[in-house]
Amino acid sequence: MSDPADPKRFGLYLVAAERSGDLLGGGLIKALKQSPGYVFNFAGVGGPSMADEGVESPFDISDLSIIGLVEGVKAYNRVIRRVKQTVADILDKRPDMVVLIDSWGFTLRVAQRVRKLAPEIKLVKYVGPQVWATRPGRARTLAAAVDHLMSIHSFDAPYFEKAGLPTTFVGNPTFERDVTGDGAAFRQRHGLDANDTVMLTLFGSRPSELSRMYESFAQTLSEMKALHPEVRHITILAGTIEHTARERLEQDERLAHLLVVDEDEKRDAFSASDLALACSGTVTTELAMAGVPHLAAYKLEPVTYFILDTFKVFKAPYISMVNIAADEELIGEFLQSAAEPSDLVPALSALVSDKERRANLSRRLIETTDGMRGAGQASERAARTVIDLLNA
């Protein structure tokens, strides 16, 4: 450990190209700040969580949240422009280490260029690609691009170490976030009775997700209102889609019954909800931690889905990490053509009508995510790993 009276100083550059990575980056910075005997000069690309810790991003990362082959092709020029901008900023600041968080395509390109132009800078990947589920060759590609991997899954290491990449399991900070809130206070604030059945809908955090999921979700909510007029409907809008989503919702007469709340009420809204419909992503894990029975729906561009389905690229039995951990579909998964009202409405209606089933699912979701949490303190373990690598 360094002497607090004579601290070691390091420059650290973090790259997070989407909201989930930004949350990891913010947690890592906070943990590093609390490490005695060290002073860090932070810089990087990120979002609001990293900004809260004093890191001002050179550009808005919202246009880099890209999933899918077709989507990637469409965004290629924009991504490359941002990669060059990021690399130029790294070369200008000359940090001791660059931590590249999630976002496979973007961070890989940054790593490869930095390695070529400034090989003395240490490169650490935080969150590896899911090679156990798809594209195992990415392990070798990553091993050639970075010096170390900090993994959030306990079963990652053998895949990457076999490819020659040293790997440290640090854990997943998602499972350490406090998702509990005051549901009773939320209901009181918004005129919801204590006995009302409350359904939460989450449209996603990427503009592309809002675009693809909006119509299916809107029509589903309209039909649910007709089938179950007693159910109260709420939604939380992620900051990355809030402006566009509010405009659409205000103009959609089908959703006049939908209560829209700000993201700062998220935990209270979770605690107030009896069931949910969500665009698949990190938020489904958070809902599971809060014990909210829910359905996860997702749509890719048709060509992207056709390629993935035809060539059986995805090997895992489920898309949700919670379902994979439970080896059971605790979270209902509705992909592509199944993510339509014709499938979503009956599944949601069954949840509304079966209070006992909701209670059982809630218990199982909490038990499963408790088991996935592990020892906790993931951000602190990541910080210790970074410090060890900087001192090596």
Minimal CA–CA distance to 282: which of 313, 238, 316, 243?
A: 238
Q: Give the tens place of pLDDT for each residue, 83-125.
A: 999 999 999 999 999 999 999 999 999 999 999 999 999 999 9
Q: What is the mean pLDDT of residues 7-21?
A: 94
* pLDDT value of position 3: 63
Q: What percent of the chain has pLDDT over 90?
A: 76
pLDDT at 13: 98
Residue, of 79 and 375, whose pLDDT is higher: 79
pLDDT at 246: 95
State residue 63's pLDDT score: 75
Whether the predicted pLDDT of 313 surpasses 70: no
Higher pLDDT, 262 or 2: 262
Report in angstroms the alpha-carbon separations of 297 from 130, 214, 284, 334, 355.
20, 11, 10, 5, 22
Q: Which of 127-131, 225-229, 370-374 has the highest mean pLDDT?
A: 225-229
279, 213 in Cβ contact below 8 A? yes
User: Inter-axis angle of helices 207-227 and 242-251, to 10 degrees?
Assistant: 40
Type of residue found at 292: V
Q: Name the pLDDT band for 71 (thresholds 50, 70, 90).
A: low
What are the CA-CA distances from residue 117 to residues 4, 205, 209, 274 (Å)? 34, 34, 35, 53
Residues 6+ apart with CB under 8 A from 138: 104, 129, 131
- Residue 62 — pLDDT band, cuts 50, 70, 90? confident
Please give the pLDDT value at position 135: 83
Question: Which pLDDT score, from 0 to 100, does residue 176 have?
Answer: 84
Considering 54-63, 181-190, 365-374, the range whose residues carry the highest mean pLDDT is 181-190
Residue type, 6: D
Confidence category of residue 130, pLDDT binned at 50, 70, 90? confident
pLDDT at 177: 82
φ, ψ for residue 172, nearest 5 deg: -110, 110
- The mean-pLDDT minimum among 48-52, 71-75, 330-334, 356-360 falls in 71-75
Say how far apart CA 49 and CA 58 lie, in whole Å: 15
Domains of the chain, start order = 8-171+375-391 (3.40.50.2000), 183-373 (3.40.50.2000)
> What's the CA gap between 165 and 142, in Å, rounded?
8
Query: pLDDT at position 358, please?
Result: 98
Q: What is the pLDDT averaged over residues 45-54?
A: 96
Task: Determine the distance from the C-alpha atom of residue 364 to the mean position of all C-alpha atoms in its chain, rounded to a whole number.
Answer: 22
Q: Is residue 48 over pLDDT 80?
A: yes
Per-residue pLDDT at 325: 85
Residue 70 has pLDDT above 90, yes or no: no
Q: Is the pLDDT of residue 205 over 90?
A: no
Eight-class DSSP state of 337: G
In the predicted model, what is the mean pLDDT of residues 9-20?
95
Q: Average per-residue pLDDT in the chain? A: 92
Convert the pLDDT of each residue in 212-261 to its tens digit.
999 999 999 999 999 999 999 999 998 889 999 999 999 999 999 999 99
The pLDDT of residue 357 is above 70:
yes
| Structure confidence at residue 302 (pLDDT) | 76
Answer yes or no: is pLDDT of 75 > 90: no
Share of the chain above pLDDT 70, in %: 93
277/297 Cα distance (integer angstroms): 8
pTM of the model: 0.75
